[in-house]
Chains A and B, each alone.
Chain A
Amino acid sequence: MNTTATTINSATHQGTLIVAQAEAPLKTGPRVIDYNDRRTVGDITVPDPKMVCRDVNVYYGENHAIKTVSIDIGNRQVTSLIGPSGCGKSTFLRCLNRMNDTIPGCRVTGEITIDKENIYDKNLDVVQLRARVGMVFQKPNPFPKSIFENIAYGPHIHGLAANKRELGELVETCLIKAGLWEEVKDRLEEAGTGLSGGQQQRLCIARAISVNPEVILMDEPCSALDPIATARIEELMDELRENYAIVIVTHSMQQAARVSQRTAYFHLGDLIEVGDTEQIFTNPQHRLTEDYITGRFG
């Protein structure tokens, strides 16, 4: 294991070597890269990228929250973003569907593309972008409406359903996909806020997929849920992966290990290391990553 240290993944992916911001190639040498080196370790690219982020910086006023991050989001796989609190993983996630636009004083530079279209391009419409990149939030936030209306909201505003029958069909499909149908099919007219926490979060997932997005962003979707509800959501993610690119921010390393295929480790606004989940958790290359996953801080 030690001997392959400098060429991780080079055999499996056609991408470059370990260095992302490629001015100076990292010197070959010790397997574990030192704390002070904040260049990204690992292969940031994937063969079939849905979204490509290059040199993304985010500022909140004076605060430099994300520092020159580059990473690809692969299609039909779950990418998890991990790291200690305040490391910027949620901020980065919110860049991917421009939810940061709603925060006053927030500024984003760099380039993020979806299917080669720059999402920060003036000509790209944010409404349309968000229809393509859905989001599920940390705390379940169903609208104070009925279960049916919660799901129907997205299709309604975008005009996706031609008629009532189609809308009903669509709501049913989304609820089935979110694994909630059996539990709520007899009470679609009841308030969405009356469901349990886990059900609410699945409702939110159903709501997110109701507009047929290509990417689903999940911001710590299970942090407010109990273990059984969490297991249910994780199962769901595994199923959804077949059709969508999923990016999940999580505090739980076990969860990242369970659901994701790729993992990116953030530290104080820097993307420290990225790679196959298995590799990150068994063979981290950066000291910070190693410390984090072995529980030395976090």
Chain B
Amino acid sequence: MNNNTNPLARKDTTAIVRAGLQRRYAAEKRFKWYGLTAISIALLAVVLLFADILIKGLPTFWQTDIRLEIDFAPQIIDPDGRRNPDDLSLADYSALWKKSLRQLFPEVESREELRSLYALISSGSSLQLRDRVMANPALIGVTQNVDLLADDTVDTFFKGGVDRELPEAQRPLKDDQIAWLDKLKAEGKMETRFNTGFFTNGDSREAEQAGIGGALVGSIFTLLITLSLSFPIGVAAAIYLEEFAPYNRWTDIIEVNINNLAAVPSIVFGLLGLAVFINFMHLPRSAPLVGGLVLALMNLPIMIIASRAALKSVPPSIREAALGMGASKLQMVAHHVLPLAMPGMLTGSILAMAHALGESAPLLMIGMIAFIVDIPTSPFKPATVLPVQIYLWSTLPERAFVQRTSAAIILLLLFLAVMNATAIILRKRLERRW
């Protein structure tokens, strides 16, 4: 132990260390700041995203109506007075509200002006009136106040989305239209109410009539099919791989395959669905059935991985106890292991469903982006789903559609939040710690 060979023995190490401290602590502080900045950026992105969508979307949940006194004149609706439903449904209901508007603004005469006056009311108002009459033919001959849907530009204007100071040419509403609206407003004929139509209507070219009802039903059908396929198959596959499968090349291949399948881009599953389900099996295009099948295949690896994790968390002692009592291996799984692993499997499947609910890319491939007005009545009918509806609306330039897109996003995120919260609660409540 010759100390002279130690270079440090010739130095005052304490002094050297002290000399370096300031520089090192500066570096330390800098690094900490980098981390803090990074996480702040990430958190800021979350806040911005949500704020942006909330601000854009919330107005959609209210809808502007224009109250008109409608004279359900028999000579327009039912000239021959037979109350035949076919005749009633074919009548020109637009004449009713147009007449009422003309009475309110008698000074408007020219064709040009009338057209811009009529533009204040949604074209869907005629349907609105028709449905009223069809539901209650006794209305014919009666004069009644009816709240009619305002056009989306009016709606936007009423919510403060149109700047009056802009030059007329750059505004969606002309000067005279604004004057009429001001008059209607002054007379208390315009009001905002909760927008139930947004939840119940199907898609429409007219923003004020477009709703997510159809997409919602489509999503439900699709998810039901996905769940009813991927849950049992996923659980069964997990049980086989975890409890029964021998360790050999084949199971090894399955294992690697499942892990890799979970990371395959979703659009590739869309291609699979297009080639197999539509072009080979000739299942109906755009149908939730095919969408559900594709999402089930996509979700299967996730389901299997989650279920296997749940099975793994059941301690082997339980298995040994059951086998020791003379249960068959399948009985051991069915009576003991599966019930204990079920909460974990349920949690996993809810999360997988949430994932499927937000998925859109593979559904584009199988034609679930058609413009569909009717609300689908079965999984075989053409439909779209919530995220695809969002995509469809996002391509439309009208401000009202931007708002509707945001509102649909709010709803979608709400669903996802509920599903994730359920999964978390379920996990907390039911999951056992061994």
Contact = CB atoms under 8 A, between A and B. Distances in A.
A212 interface: yes
A177 interface: yes
B408 to A, nearest CB: 44
A177 B9 CA distance: 13
Interface residues of A, number: 22
Q: Is the interface of B mostly helix, strand, loop or mixed?
A: helix
Interface in A106-130: 125, 127-128
A160 B16 contact: yes
Contacts of A161: 7
B1 A158 contact: no
A250 to B, nearest CB: 23
Contact of B20 (A159, A169, A173, A177): A159
A166 interface: yes
A159 B17 CA distance: 7
A212 B13 contact: yes
Contacts of B19: 159
B189 to A, nearest CB: 66
Interface residues on B, range: 10 to 19
Nearest to A177: B1
A131 B6 CA distance: 16
Contact of A128 (B5, B7, B9, B17): B17
Nearest to B16: A160
A258 B8 CA distance: 30
Interface string B1-30: 101011111010110111111001000000
A158 B17 contact: yes
B1 A128 contact: no
A157 B7 CA distance: 17
B21 A127 contact: yes
Q: Is the interface of A mostly helix, strand, loop or mixed?
A: helix
B8 A170 contact: yes
A128 B18 contact: yes
B3 A128 contact: no
A131 B13 CA distance: 9
Nearest to B3: A243
Interface string A198-217: 00000000000001100000
A159 to B, nearest CB: 5
B30 to A, nearest CB: 16
A124 to B, nearest CB: 11
Interface string B115-140: 00000000000000000000000000
Contacts of B16: 158-160
Given A132-B14, A160-B16, A211-B13, A169 B21 contact: no
Nearest to A115: B14
Contact of A176 (B5, B7, B18, B24): B5
A260 to B, nearest CB: 19
26 contacts: A127-B17, A127-B24, A128-B14, A155-B8, A158-B13, A158-B20, A159-B16, A159-B19, A160-B11, A160-B13, A160-B16, A160-B17, A166-B7, A169-B5, A170-B6, A170-B8, A173-B7, A173-B8, A176-B5, A211-B8, A211-B17, A212-B6, A212-B8, A212-B11, A212-B13, A243-B1
> Nearest 3 CB-CB pairs, A to B?
A212-B8, A212-B13, A159-B20
Interface of B: 1, 3, 5-9, 11, 13-14, 16-21, 24
Given A132-B14, A159-B20, A170-B8, 11 more contacts: A131-B14, A158-B16, A159-B17, A160-B11, A160-B13, A160-B16, A169-B5, A169-B7, A211-B17, A242-B1, A243-B1
